[in-house]
Amino acid sequence: MSTENLIKMANQIAQFFSTEPDKDQAVRGVRQHLQSFWTPAMRIELMAWQVEQHGAALHPLVQEALAEQGRVV
């Protein structure tokens, strides 16, 4: 899958969780979704892109979720 598609999907997930009033809960929701429904290869590719590009195109909730998820790829 292309990195552009991963970014688009991750941002859509974050957009869904952005309605959660508790930001920490929203980040956990994004992280849990990525952990539950994305393959390790998808998560690794997105995290590698985030490090390389400093997450410029990623929703802030995705950036935080990936930062926390980096320990549990």
Per-residue pLDDT, averaged over 34-61, amounts to 92
AA identity, residue 28: R
Pick 5 or 56 by higher pLDDT: 5
Residue 27 CA to its chain's centroid (Å): 9
The answer to whether 35 and 23 have CB atoms below 8 angstroms apart is no
Q: Compute the half-sphere exposure of residue 45: CA atoms within 13 Å on the CB side of its CA.
A: 13
Q: Which tokens sit at 39?
A: 């393959």
What pLDDT score was predicted for residue 43?
A: 93
The answer to whether 10 and 34 have CB atoms below 8 angstroms apart is yes
The reported pTM is 0.88
